[in-house]
Chain A
Amino acid sequence: MNFLRQSTALLRLNLGGLAARSGAVLTILIGVTCAVGVLISMLAMGTGAHRQALGDVRDDVAVVVSRGSSDLDSSVSRDQATTVADLPGISLGSDGKPLIGYQSVVIMEGHRRGTGARVFFPLIGTSPSVTAMRPEIHFTEGRMFQPGLHELVASNPCVRTFTGFELGAERDVRGIGWSVVGHFDQGNSMQCQVLADVETLMTVFGRNAFTNVSVELKSPRDFDAFRAALEANPALNLEARRERDQVEGRFKGFKALLNFAAYFVGAIMAVGATLGAVNSLYSIVDARRRELATLRAIGFGSGAIVAATLVESMLLALPGALLGAALAWIFFHGMAVSPFGFSFQLDVTPQLAEIGIVWALAMGLAGGLLPALRAARVPVTTALRAT
């Protein structure tokens, strides 16, 4: 109890005297602000990309791919697809048919507006009934493609980012002109997505197998039964994945890369900020030598001095964390970036601010350790005699 009372008294004394040491205080504040701000801004890329990728994922949708395939190299033949449609657990549409989407993905080329730089993106052949399974698809202009015709519909990010997606534009795919007949928004996604009729696309590309088949289950609980039924037939050589797992798997490497970069740069900046904090705290402690010696002389314990200095140092780091998070939010929240061909908005979330605060407290603790020990070891007699 005595320890606690001494520490709080010391802390109050310490904080009261800080106004006179604005240089040292500002050094800690700015160092921590920069380190936390950079860490949060960079982590916000991973969070933003993640939110966008998983924002529209449905728990009651399963994706059927060939066993062990990654993404585009999957292949599901028509025969296999027919077998999938008969499996249990698939929800039925209003017309009494199972809700199934057949996808065939090809890669097409586009050109960025302005720079003209070439990018490749997927052209997804899908069943026209996709709108039933994907209620987030919302047409802002034009209409859905018609089966059997060489028609494309593009999400609005395509129209904004690339040339040649205006309504009525013709795009050349495999020597055939495809006209753009609709523009749509797609929930959280900022990704460019172009859809066409799966059968027409496969005819043009001479394909006989789908890339994957997605099914809407009666409920998310039916997934295990569905998967068991699918895998009970090893000859099919197919695999069922929850849509969430499929999207996350596609995304894992990219997110790991972003987070690695964020923590790598963040850690180096944190080390720099901590070094700055150590220096500042040393100067604060040195300025208090007589004060500390007096306190020791009248009976304050060295444990209380260490505790008070450490808490003080963490309290000095804290505003830096809040300021860093605030600056990251003001400057970068919602900013659109597209590294490595992914497009998404930075997302500064409260969770990231929490991480920033934890880092700042750690910086304060690490930075305060040595100065706190020095404060506790102030030799009473010499310090009192000093001018």
Chain B
Amino acid sequence: MKFLPLIWSGIWRKPGRTILIFLQVGVAFALFGVLQGLKTGVQHAVDAARADLLIVHSRLSLIMEGLPISLLGPIRSVPGVGVAIPVELFVCHYQKPEQGVLSVAVTSDKDWTTAFTFAIAPQDLDAFAKSRTAALVLEATAKKYGWKVGDRIPLICRTVQKNGSPNWTFEVVGTFTDSDFGGGGDKIIMSFPYYDEARATGRGTVNHINVSVTDPNLAVPVAEAIDRLSANSSHETKTESIRELAQQQVQQIGDFDFLIRAVVSAVLAALLFAIASMMVQSVHERTSELAVLKTIGFTDRAVFMLILAEALSVCILAGAFGLALATAALPIAARVVTGLSMPKITLAIGLGFAVLVALISAAVPALLAARLRVSTALAER
């Protein structure tokens, strides 16, 4: 403890230099934090995705090919199936083609929300079930366009109505939030029966069917049983949990892991060198001071530890500062990719790296300081 003032004065011997090093280490660890946060955060989000929510889709594609709605009955009678809800996704835009809004058409059967990742207030659910042209709006979307409950919003959709018009009007009855992996983007929920009746083509087909299972452990056998229903038919299905889908999405990102590792190594390599060279410089400048310390009884070992402690304090503080910056920045990135977070393990790994960088880069200068010979050092003056 008594060495603390000594370490402190060593750090602030040249305040300009220390602040620059501090910023450099901070910037490096902010980058480290953002990149690692992306990686671990995505893995985290995948693990958090529900394994008991199954999506039944065409074997040929996730959404491009439809399924006959007649599959719904047989699926509902598969043991272990909770609720099965037909879902149609179609792309609309609000006022301008750039302002895309995804429409999710669902039937509001009893407990239908258990087969989705949406969180909806009970009174909004009731209002939605009562009206055919009702729509629930994603909270972020409602905020973005200033839509309020009771508003009638006109959307232009790729699906045309029977009269040939691509214009659809919905009445906002409430809002919802979505915890789906990668579930960003503007979205509304509307009534499937209304949609199915009004659309010009494709009646009787759906994009996919959402199924909740009664027991999460049954997810795999239930999925297999559902796929057996349509085996060898012209509309074979593939049933997957949204966790599996999230996993595939992550695999698609593919080589990102390698990239992150390469960037992080480059950052740390540059950092090691910068700190080491600055510390060597600092030890050189302090030759006579260190010699005096040794004269009054400091051992070589104590001097070694002193230099190491200086590097450690700066690196750990700056590393913590950088990681804090990254943590503050991640919520902004999370707006684009839902589910990003900075798990504590990333922070721990980051601080671990900060310690490692400090130890490696300070080793040479600390050794120089420890090996300093008092007689020669003082004679130089």
* Per-position 1/0 for B40-80, Cβ under 8 A of A: 00000000000000000001111011000000000000000
A68 to B254, CA, bound (A): 32
A108 within 8 A of B: yes
Asked whether A106 lies within 8 Å of B271 as measured between CB atoms, the reply is no
Total interface residues on B, using CB and 8 Å?
46
* Per-position 1/0 for B19-57, Cβ under 8 A of A: 011011001101100010000000000000000000000
Among candidates B27, B62, B255, B269, residue contacting A337 with C-beta atoms closer than 8 Å? B255
Asked whether A271 lies within 8 Å of B21 as measured between CB atoms, the reply is no
Measured CB to CB, the closest approach of chain B to A212, in angstroms, equals 15
Residue of B nearest to A25 (CB): B277
Asked whether A339 lies within 8 Å of B254 as measured between CB atoms, the reply is yes
Q: Tell me which residues from 194 to 242 in chain B have a Cβ below 8 Å from any Cβ of chain A.
A: 232-234, 236, 238
Q: Tell me which residues from 254 to 300 in chain A have a Cβ below 8 Å from any Cβ of chain B.
A: 265, 268-269, 271-273, 275-276, 278-280, 282-283
Asked whether A275 lies within 8 Å of B27 as measured between CB atoms, the reply is yes
Chain A residue numbers with a CB within 8 Å of B277 are: 23-24, 26-27, 280
Measured CB to CB, the closest approach of chain B to A288, in angstroms, equals 14
Stretch at the interface among B245-253, B307-315, B352-360: B245-253
Asked whether A68 lies within 8 Å of B97 as measured between CB atoms, the reply is yes
Among candidates A37, A175, A339, residue contacting B266 with C-beta atoms closer than 8 Å? A37
Asked whether B27 lies within 8 Å of A268 as measured between CB atoms, the reply is yes
Measured CB to CB, the closest approach of chain A to B234, in angstroms, equals 5
A38 to B259, CA, bound (A): 10
Among candidates B17, B24, B263, B281, residue contacting A38 with C-beta atoms closer than 8 Å? B263
A115 to B97, CA, bound (A): 39
Asked whether B28 lies within 8 Å of A279 as measured between CB atoms, the reply is no
Asked whether B271 lies within 8 Å of A272 as measured between CB atoms, the reply is yes
Asked whether A109 lies within 8 Å of B59 as measured between CB atoms, the reply is yes
A189 to B27, CA, bound (A): 39
* Per-position 1/0 for B262-273, Cβ under 8 A of A: 110011011101
A42 within 8 A of B: yes
Asked whether B23 lies within 8 Å of A275 as measured between CB atoms, the reply is yes
Asked whether A272 lies within 8 Å of B61 as measured between CB atoms, the reply is no
Q: A24-B277, A27-B274, A175-B233 are in contact. Are A120 and B62 (CB under 8 A)?
A: yes
A72 within 8 A of B: yes
Measured CB to CB, the closest approach of chain B to A343, in angstroms, equals 9
Measured CB to CB, the closest approach of chain A to B61, in angstroms, equals 4
Among candidates A109, A265, A275, A282, residue contacting B24 with C-beta atoms closer than 8 Å? A275
Residue of A nearest to B24 (CB): A275
Asked whether A279 lies within 8 Å of B274 as measured between CB atoms, the reply is yes
Residue of B nearest to A37 (CB): B266
B278 within 8 A of A: yes
10 chain-A/chain-B pairs, Cβ below 8 angstroms: A23-B277, A27-B277, A34-B266, A34-B270, A109-B59, A109-B61, A109-B238, A175-B232, A275-B20, A275-B23
User: Residues on B close to A: CB < 8 A?
Assistant: 16-17, 20-21, 23-24, 27-28, 30-31, 35, 59-62, 64-65, 91, 97, 158, 232-234, 236, 238, 248, 251-256, 259, 262-263, 266-267, 269-271, 273-274, 277-278, 280-281
